[in-house]
Chains A and B, each alone.
Chain A
Amino acid sequence: MFIKFQSLIINLKPILMIGFIFMSAKAISQDTLSGNYPSLTMKSGLHVIKNVVTVKGDLNIEPGAKIELIEPGILVCEGAVNSRGEQNNKIEIYGKSNLEGVGLVIRGIDSNRNSKIDIQYTTFKSLQLPLFFDFGWQRSGVNISDNYFINNIGKVSIIQVLNPPFNFNLDSSYIDFKVRNNIFSSNNAAIYFEDLKSDHINFEINNNTIVGNSIYGFKNYNISTNILYGRVDQLFSRFNPKIDNNSFAFNYLIDNITDTVVHAANFGVYGTDKTIDFKNNYLGSSDKNKILKSIYDQTLNYNAPKVEFEPFLIVPAANTPSHIYEINNVDNSELQDTLMIKDPLKGLVLKANNKLNYAKTIVQYSYFKDDSSLIKIDTSVTYDLQPDGNATKITITKNVNTSKKVGFYTIRDMVDSKGDYVPEVRVGYIAYLNDLRRRKLIAELVKDKKAEDSVKLPTPAAAAPVDSIKNQFQKIESPLKSRLEFSLYSGLAIFNGTISQRNLFGNDKNLYNGLNVNYTIFSNLSASMTIASFKLSNSDANSNNNEQQARGMSFATSMLGISTSVNYDFVDNRLYTKARKIRPSIGLGLDVNSFSPSGIYNGVVYKLQPLGTGGQLVDSTKKAYSSLALGYFFNFKVRYQINRFNSVGFHLSIHRSMSDYLDDVGPDLYPAADKIMNSKVDNKEVALYFSNPTSRNVLGRYRNSPDNSKDGYIIFGVFYSRRLFK
């Protein structure tokens, strides 16, 4: 063992060495920052921030630097910021998964009057508030260009710009604030400017791609629930914001409570000014009415300025970062964003502002597994591409989701001609979120129901209320047909009586088939009727009891029975929920069975009842037993509810017959051979054989000795149930 271990170590030595070198290198290259810095330069490599890090002077971030912010990590900049990445060597500022840090805060007045904020080719990802210009900040200029703001999780802002502390009347200096060529995508918050119109900040917001963002709010649409919003006051007259050539698409207001899409939400404005210039932007549609619904202005609020958005761009400008701005059906007809996708789409036409490279694109189809659970299946579908200028037709070649559950498509991992990031797009996501909400509500109902159940019987008084039956079995207000459920049963029947042995599975096993109708009476009580056909058989030869072996009897009988039962369902049978898919029940019932035991004599099957094998026909005053038997049974079922209508499960029932002749052997004395031979039975020889198959000397003994067992049988197997009516 030791030698083996030693040889394993020797074999793994090079790998371990390499691993060690890598780990060491990583540990060396990782730089964990904390506290205050007079100035800071962050070189290419990993820098980790877990707390508040304040840079009093210049902050320089070099291309290739990766800054991981771990909650409550925040980088406070009180001086100039130079974060200038390169197109092919970007800077990354990101939050750690599930422990996302805050972001960059620009604060205070820099003593160096010429300090600037210059952020280029930097990716802000998975942060709570990527860029925050805190109240009272002041720098000589701001340039935020060619950056990516993607997948930021915070619901406050992506960029929030509060006012600098200029003296209103005396200070004539101002800040040039440029936001250009950035991509804002898959974020959860808005871009907010306290005063878009200002005497001290000259905003230029141009050529940005702002697509696929969610803004969290409530169902009542307001100013702040837009991807871009701010104030425009008459108080200021010096700088009107220049907001043009931006592309807004697929930005939606999401209801905080329900997590469902309310509607498109692109731009919101408030303040005392009459109008704001918002011309020459692409606003998600070429339909003016649709655009109006995505803007909050005077149209919705009399006190707000009017947004002058006409003329608007029909297609986004080519010099905005590349992105898909429109998705159509394969026939190029409009694809509604509220479309509910239950059947897989044949294809899509994706329109972009530039030619895109789809070589590594993944088209993912996500859909619910069943009718009500939260389980989602993600499948990558195969497709063919047909480029047509800046548009591309995707023909889906692989069919999935044959069960027709609600789903949506995600198209991701496109790049533009320079290999730069292109935001992902989704189709059918609004309807998917609505269905998700429905499913969550059901899950919550079930959870509440469970909680109720768990506190139902806390005190003896509550445990036995006067109307406990009413509480347990609540009346159901539903039509008769919807209470019916039909089942097919199949399984094995094992005889348990005179001709059987104690080891249940040592006896003969025969096929059982049944048709069942179940009727729901109350919430936890149901009645059912089953018509079943099966066979019972057994032989003393199977027994390990010597006396039974010596008796040497055997039989087989076809059974045709009708059973009725009352069942207690442990789970409220009105509910169909994911949480309670497994549903046990127990019940008691009555059987009526027709039977006719038979045996084989010299290769021929004879019915045993007419032979009077127990001597019943020897005495003319007696008659043969009845071939109709009453019985009773106990049953246990466990069902797995596949969906509202279909279920499968296991069943087990233990039956006891009131007749002792299911196996033809009852409490009769062995008849004398000569009496049988002298009787009026048709097949005397056969009757003689079956009366005592081993010809033992048994005069004076009972045929059902030694155990005098009562006849019965056990049935177990599987079933499939279906409700035919809603």
Chain B
Amino acid sequence: MNIKNTILFVSILSSAVLISACSKTAVKSSLEFQKELLAGTGTFSNTQYTWQLDSCYIDGTHFPLTTVQKSYKKTFTYDGRYSDSDLNVGKWEMETLDKLKQTIIYQPSNARDSSVYDIISINAGRLNLKVKLSNGQLGTYSFKKSN
């Protein structure tokens, strides 16, 4: 094998090895990323996030919270389970970026009560939700992460 062939062979072989060995970054979708912000990734010690009620507005007016109300917490688990500090359990779903569906399952009747929140914003520290109340008013809730 002459020099040119040797160099060509080594170049092709090493290029193939290098390219195949290089790590590839898989970018998560926005929806996937938002779910992880809400409930964790599922890796060790990162399986659920608890969000604590911090403030509330009714029809745009600040609604002062009592100490008991401020201790209300929602816990979202990465696998879709839901619980809160009122001892409700159920499941959560996020099919689009701006909707969070929360279903409470009552035991032992297995009766279900679903409500759908509009997600105003979510980041690593705060979750802002909006929901139309049964009396027709618009409730806006702000949660902070409480881990």
Interface residues of A (CB under 8 A from B): 402-403, 490-492, 508-511, 537, 541, 546, 549-550, 552, 556, 600-603, 642-643, 646, 648, 673, 677, 685, 688-689, 692-697, 717-718, 720
Count of chain B residues with a beta carbon within 8 Å of a chain A beta carbon: 33
Pair A511/B147 contact, Cβ less than 8 Å: no
Contact B44 A603 (CB under 8 A): no
Residue ID in chain A nearest B19 by CB atoms = A511
How far is B37's CA from A685's CA once the two chains are assembled, in angstroms?
11
Interface flags, B110-128, vs A, CB<8A=1, else 0 = 0000000000000111000
Asked if residues A720 and B18 are in contact (CB atoms below 8 Å), the reply is: no
A694:B22 contact, CB within 8 angstroms: no
The answer to whether B10 touches A510 (Cβ under 8 A) is no
Question: Within 8 Å of chain A (Cβ to Cβ): is B106?
Answer: no
Q: Across the two chains, which residue of chain A brings its CB closest to B43?
A: A549
* Chain B positions 1-46 with a Cβ under 8 Å from a chain A Cβ: 2-3, 6-7, 10-11, 14-15, 18-19, 21-23, 25, 27-30, 33-34, 37, 40-41, 43-46
Cross-chain contact B10 with A694 (CB below 8 angstroms): no
Q: Could you show 24 A-B contacts with beta carbons less than 8 Å apart?
A: A509-B23, A510-B23, A511-B18, A537-B25, A550-B44, A550-B46, A552-B43, A552-B46, A600-B28, A602-B30, A602-B34, A603-B28, A603-B30, A642-B3, A648-B7, A673-B124, A685-B123, A688-B125, A695-B46, A695-B49, A695-B124, A696-B45, A718-B10, A718-B14
Give the most central of B7, B15, B22: most A CB within 10 Å: B22
**CA separation between A685 and B6, bound complex, in Å?**
54
Question: Whole-angstrom distance between the alpha carbons of A508 and B6 in the complex?
Answer: 30
B45 pairs with A549, CB closer than 8 A: yes
Contact A541 B43 (CB under 8 A): yes
Q: A688-B123, A720-B10 are in contact. Are A511 and B22 (CB under 8 A)?
A: yes
CB–CB A642/B27 < 8 A: no
The answer, yes or no, to whether B145 is at the interface (CB within 8 Å) is yes
Q: How far apart are A601's CB and chain B's nearest CB, in angstroms? A: 8
Min C-beta distance of B66 to chain A, whole Å: 22
B111 CB → nearest A CB, Å: 33
Q: Which residue of A lies closest to B125 (CB)?
A: A673
| Complex Cα spacing A648 to B13, Å | 13
A402 to B18, CA, bound (A): 31
Give bound CA distance, A603 to B36, whole Å: 13
- Neighbouring A residues of B40 by C-beta, 8 Å: 694-695
Chain A residue with the shortest CB-CB distance to B33: A602
Give B43 Cβ to nearest chain A Cβ, in Å. Answer: 5
What is the CB-to-nearest-CB distance from A253 to chain B, in angstroms, rounded to a whole number? 35
| Bound Cα distance from A552 to B46, whole angstroms | 8
User: CB-nearest residue of chain A relative to B13?
Assistant: A718
| Known pairs A549-B44, A673-B145 / 17 extra A-B pairs, C-beta < 8 Å | A403-B2, A490-B14, A509-B22, A511-B22, A552-B43, A552-B46, A600-B28, A601-B33, A602-B30, A603-B30, A642-B3, A643-B3, A685-B125, A689-B123, A694-B43, A695-B40, A695-B46
Within the complex, the shortest CB–CB distance from B31 to chain A, in Å, comes to 10
Query: How far in angstroms is the closest Cβ of chain A from B40?
Result: 7
Interface of A is mostly: mixed
Chain B stretch 27-78: residues in CB contact (< 8 A) with chain A: 27-30, 33-34, 37, 40-41, 43-46, 49
Kindly state the separation between the CA atoms of A244 and B123 in the bound complex, as whole angstroms. Answer: 111
A546 touches B45 (CB 8 A): yes
A603-B6 contact in complex given A490-B18, A550-B44, A688-B123, C-beta closer than 8 Å: no
Closest beta carbon of chain A to B51's beta carbon, Å: 10
Q: Which residues of A contact B28 (CB under 8 A)?
A: 600, 603
Residue contact A646 to B45, C-beta cutoff 8 Å: no
Check A696–B147 contact: CB distance below 8 A: yes
B6 A642 Cβ-Cβ under 8 A: yes
Task: State in angstroms the CA–CA spacing of A643 and B4 once bound together.
Answer: 12
- Is A556 within 8 A of B33, CB to CB? no
Is there an interface contact between B6 and A717, defined as CB atoms closer than 8 Å? no
Q: Which residues of A sit under 8 angstroms from B33, Cβ to Cβ?
A: 601-603
Task: Give the CA-CA distance A602 to B29 in the complex, in Å.
Answer: 7
List B contacts of A695 (CB < 8 A): 40, 46, 49, 124-125, 145, 147
User: CA separation between A673 and B52, bound complex, in Å?
Assistant: 14
Assess whether B44 is in contact with A648, with CB atoms less than 8 Å apart.
Answer: no
Chain B residues, Cβ within 8 Å of A648: 6-7, 10
Cα(A697)–Cα(B22), bound, Å: 34
Q: B18 contacts which of A492, A541, A643 (Cβ < 8 Å)?
A: A492
Residues of B within 8 A of A720 (CB): 7, 10-11
Instruction: Give B6's nearest chain A residue, CB to CB.
Output: A642
Beta-carbon contact of B43 and A717 below 8 Å: no
CB distance from B91 to the nearest CB of A (A): 21
CB of A126 to closest CB in B, whole Å: 35
* Cα separation A695 to B10 with both chains bound (whole Å): 48
Give, as a whole number of angstroms, the nearest-CB distance from A576 to chain B. Answer: 14
